[in-house]
A and B are shown apart, each in its own frame.
Chain A
Amino acid sequence: MFNRRKRLLWCAASAALWGFCASVPARADDAVKIGLILPMTGGQASTGKQIDNAIKLYMQQNGDTVAGKKIEVILKDDAAVPDNTKRLAQELIVNDKVNFIAGFGVTPAALAAAPLATQAKIPEVVMAAGTSIITERSPYIVRTSFTLAQSSTIIGDWVVKNGIKKVATLTSDYAPGNDALTFFKQHFTAGGGEIVEEVKVPLANPDFAPFLQRMKDSKPDAMFVFVPAGQGGNFMKQYAERGLDKSGIKVIGPGDVMDDDLLNNMGDAALGAVTAHLYSAAHPSQMNKDFVAAYKKAFGNRPGFMAVSGYDGIHLIYEALKKTNGATDGDKLIEAMKGMKWESPRGPISIDPETRDIVQNIYIRKVEKVDGELYNVEFATFEAVKDSGKTKK
């Protein structure tokens, strides 16, 4: 009696298992999985949150099926630690069998995943990290964010042409800071500008006071600043406290310091800062107005450039899938992405078919008050800027 019941149970269980097994491959055929690796905790968490938000928003607006396939995003938190990134990427590729890996808050994280993308032959869509070398590390890497060279060279060119001859620099002493400094210096001095003071600030820096005093005493026309996004607010407050704004020393730099995410908390000290960057929430296109309104409605705050990079990243994945008719072969997808052009909230952008890096407009902006809030208002445009930081072949 007991035996028969047990056997029955077994039959039922195995039947269920069979059914399950049979249904899995069928489902996997219709689903495209994206492994999204972002820093959701730790000092870079705001980057991760913006990108995650933007992807959610995009999928709300455009549905979660492309070319007959259901898009499934698996979010993992690497806290911007490259060892985690590598482990998570491996898990996503081997266990979850993802068709894309995407995200990557910082350069070391993007680099850590590069060999895995090459080995697994799946596209790695970089949505944040901004060092030039990244796309050279694997033929499967595509970037939708920016490179520091793009904005730093442009601001270097712009200041020389606009009568600023003496500049002091203050940059954080880590790879992106040094990148920004080198590219700025190249273009600024080539145009006849002079660097009167050069200070590298330690990354974990408690107090800017002595460095700022040094800037003030070297009496430049402007100071070039690059600090990690989180420190921008502290920096601007101390800049104002020391009266640098009143002594006529302008802040210039790549736009990271004036991230839309933080700008409003910086207070009026930030007014008048001129930066070069890829995106401002105040970009005057209809598409951007809709994007900002939708983002604000969904998440209660303004999107920054990281959000736009995530939004464009997922758009690129959607479009590539449309082009391949849903085929998830890595080589085909990368081929489809190369040279793709589209209108983003930041303006017209494209993927360089040679370097798989982004080509975009760089805008010169000035911090102004619009409706009682601080915004980077764009007033000059350099069109279709490529990354100039690639190693010369």
Chain B
Amino acid sequence: MASILTNLFDGVAYGMLLFVLACGLAVTLGLMNFVNLAHGAFAMAGGYICAVLVNQSGWPFFAALPLAFVGSAVIGIALERTLYRHLYSRSHLDQVLFSIGLVFMSVAAVDYIMGSSRVFIKLPAALEGQIDLFGVGIGRYRLMIVVICGLLTLALQLILAKTRFGSRLRAAVDDPRAAIGLGINVPQVFAFTFAFGCGLAGLGGALSAEILGLDPYFPLKFMIYFLIVVTVGGSSSITGPFLASLLLGIADVAGKYYVPKLGPFVIYTVMIVILLWRPNGLFGRTAAR
């Protein structure tokens, strides 16, 4: 019984992590209709920023996390202004080619600057080990991930649903022409959203270094997971990818625990079944534009 709960908890933590990593992609893909395969590169950037700050400059881990967010967001907005925005109106194939090229460049650049071995972020002692909760082993680090990611999700949902910016974003997505006509600065809204998504990816990258491992191949290795989250979740809201991440995280952990021989396939099987049942994802509707 205890091990079931521990597994469930691990699955939730893993799912939450996937969500923070991938929700930026859900935004660019679903809301802006831009296929950004380079999303993982921003996550990697965040991870390395955090690693350099903590390991080399001696920053405390919790101070470096927000900087991982800000750093990736700044890189994101710089690239959006210089490169991405020229491709918004191009075909999906062009976008895919462009962004995959960006992935390879980022891999080579990080390999050159940081070296190809795995990087670990030194954690404060308070985050190491497990705590025992009614006989259920709960990893402290994973608990922190669940808390941070849970709060983030809540905040995101509130921003999208309740704030003026959220309604502008939704309007810009639903019908950009009408939104421009109403005086909404659509390019600005998109740029800001893009940067925010990149920042979230950066934060996710910093958080995942401990669990998924951080090396220059990060964007390639996890691209497939991000895409699964977005396709299964549907890309029209935050709730879809969130539930999809949780489902996939739990399915992956449970699959590897109970049927280790099939382990790595479980996540793909779940994806195929869901997509056969609902081709537009769990909460999907066809893309806005």
Q: Taking beta carbons and an 8 Å cutoff, which residues of A are in contact with B?
A: 41-43, 45-46, 199-200, 202, 204-207, 209-211, 213-214, 216-217, 230-231, 233-234, 237-238, 240-243, 261-262, 265
Whether, in the assembled complex, B213 has its beta carbon less than 8 Å from a beta carbon of chain A, the answer is yes
Do residues B130 and A230 form an inter-chain contact, with CB atoms below 8 A? no
Do residues A210 and B254 form an inter-chain contact, with CB atoms below 8 A?
yes
- Extra inter-chain contacts (9) besides given A46-B117, A210-B260, CB under 8 Å: A199-B260, A206-B221, A207-B252, A209-B14, A210-B254, A210-B257, A211-B263, A230-B118, A241-B128
B3 pairs with A213, CB closer than 8 A: yes
Q: A337 to B257, alpha carbons, bound, how many Å?
A: 49
Minimal beta-carbon separation of A235 from chain B (angstroms):
10
Q: Nearest residue in A to B217 (C-beta to C-beta)?
A: A43
Distance between Cα atoms of A234 and B116 in the complex (Å): 15
- CB nearest to A261 among chain B residues: B117
| A202 & B10 in contact (Cβ 8 Å cutoff) | no
Cβ B129 vs Cβ A243 within 8 A: yes
A207–B260 contact, CB under 8 A?
Answer: no
Q: Which of B120, B137, B213 has the most CB of A within 10 A?
A: B213
B116–A213 CB distance below 8 A? no
Query: How many angstroms between the C-alpha atoms of A234 and B225 in the bound complex?
Result: 19
Chain A residues contacting B7 (CB-CB under 8 Å) are: 210, 213
Please count the residue pairs between chain A and chain B whose beta carbons lie under 8 angstroms apart in the complex: 92
With A207-B14, A242-B137: A45-B263 Cβ-Cβ less than 8 Å = no
Q: B221: which of A204, A243, A262 is its contact (CB, 8 Å)?
A: A204
Contact A207 B117 (CB under 8 A): no
Assembled-state Cα–Cα distance A261/B116 (Å): 13
Instruction: Name which of A237, A240, A261 has the most chain B CB atoms within 10 A of its CB.
Output: A237
The DSSP consensus for interface residues of chain A is helix
Q: Are B118 and A202 neighbours in the complex by a CB distance under 8 Å?
A: no
Given the contacts A202-B264, A204-B221, A233 and B116 also touching, CB distance less than 8 Å: no
B256 touches A233 (CB 8 A): no
Residue of chain A at shortest CB distance from B214: A234
**26 sampled A-B residue pairs with Cβ under 8 A:** A42-B116, A46-B117, A202-B263, A206-B221, A206-B225, A207-B211, A209-B10, A210-B256, A210-B257, A210-B260, A210-B263, A211-B257, A211-B260, A213-B10, A213-B257, A214-B256, A230-B118, A230-B213, A234-B118, A234-B213, A237-B120, A238-B211, A240-B129, A241-B129, A241-B130, A261-B117
Residues of B contacting A200 in the complex (Cβ-Cβ under 8 angstroms)? 260-261
Contact B212 A206 (CB under 8 A): yes
Residues from chain B with Cβ under 8 Å of A213 in the complex: 3, 6-7, 10, 257
Shortest CB–CB separation between residue A249 and chain B, in angstroms? 14
Closest 10 CB pairs of A and B: A210-B256, A210-B257, A45-B116, A202-B264, A210-B253, A209-B10, A234-B213, A206-B212, A243-B130, A199-B260
Q: Are B215 and A230 in contact (CB under 8 A)?
A: yes
Are B10 and A233 in contact (CB-based, < 8 A)? no
Does B141 belong to the interface (CB within 8 Å)? yes
Q: Collect the chain A residues with CB atoms within 8 Å of residue B129's CB.
A: 240-241, 243
Question: Known contacts being A46-B117, A241-B139, is A231 close to B260, with CB within 8 Å?
Answer: no
B222 within 8 A of A: yes
Interface positions of B from 249 to 269, Cβ below 8 Å from A:
252-257, 260-261, 263-264
CA distance A243 to B138 in the complex (A): 10
Of the candidates B142, B215, B254, the one whose C-beta lies within 8 Å of that of A43 is: B215
Nearest A residue to B131 via CB reads A243
Q: Which chain B positions have C-beta within 8 A of A42?
A: 116
Cβ-defined contact, A233 with B260, below 8 A: no
Interfacial chain A residues near B10, Cβ < 8 Å: 209-210, 213
| B141-155 at interface with A (beta carbon < 8 Å) | 141-142
| B210 close to A (CB within 8 Å) | yes
What is the bound-complex CA distance between A199 and B10, given in angstroms? 18
Q: Does B111 contact A (CB under 8 A)?
A: yes
> Within the complex, what minimum Cβ distance (angstroms) separates B45 from chain A?
19
Chain B residues with Cβ below 8 Å from A210 are: 7, 10, 252-257, 260, 263
Which residues does chain B contribute within 8 Å of A209, judged by CB atoms? Answer: 10, 14, 139, 142, 211, 253
A43: B residues at CB distance < 8 A: 116, 215, 217
A199 to B128, CA, bound (A): 25
A residues within 8 A CB of B210?
Answer: 237
**Residues of chain B lying within 8 A (CB to CB) of residue A237:** 120, 210
Q: What A residues does B254 contact at CB under 8 A?
A: 210
Shortest distance from the beta carbon of A290 to any chain B beta carbon, whole Å: 26
Across-interface contacts of B256 in A (CB, < 8 A): 210-211, 214
Please, what's the 1-or-0 string for B242-285, where 1 marks a CB less than 8 Å from any CB in chain A? 00000000001111110011011000000000000000000000
Bound Cα distance A89, B216 (Å): 27
- Please give the distance in Å from B9's CB to the nearest CB on chain A: 10
List the B residue with the shortest CB-CB distance to A48.
Answer: B116
Instruction: Please encode chain B, from 31 to 56, with 1 for each CB lying within 8 Å of some chain A CB and 0 for all others.
Output: 00000000000000000000000000
Establish whether residues A233 and B118, one from each chain, have CB atoms under 8 Å apart when the complex forms: yes
A234 to chain B, nearest CB (A): 5
Which of B116, B221, B222 meets A46, CB within 8 Å?
Answer: B116
- Residues from chain A with a CB closer than 8 A to the CB of B3 are 213, 216-217
Min Cβ gap A54→B in Å is 17
List of B residues within 8 angstroms of A240 by Cβ: 128-129
B196 smallest CB distance to A (angstroms) = 25
**Residues of A with C-beta under 8 A to B255:** 210
Q: Are A231 and B6 interface neighbours, CB within 8 A?
A: no
Docked CA distance A204–B282 (Å) = 27
CA distance A216 to B6 in the complex (A): 12
Q: Which residues of B contact A202 (CB under 8 A)?
A: 263-264
User: With a CB–CB cut-off of 8 A, which chain B residues contact A45?
Assistant: 111, 115-117
B117 touches A242 (CB 8 A): no
| Chain A residue with the shortest CB-CB distance to B211 | A207
Q: Name the contact of A206 in the complex, choosing from B6, B111, B141, B222 (C-beta under 8 A).
A: B222
CB-CB contacts of B200-224 with A at 8 A, as 1s and 0s? 0000000000111101010001100
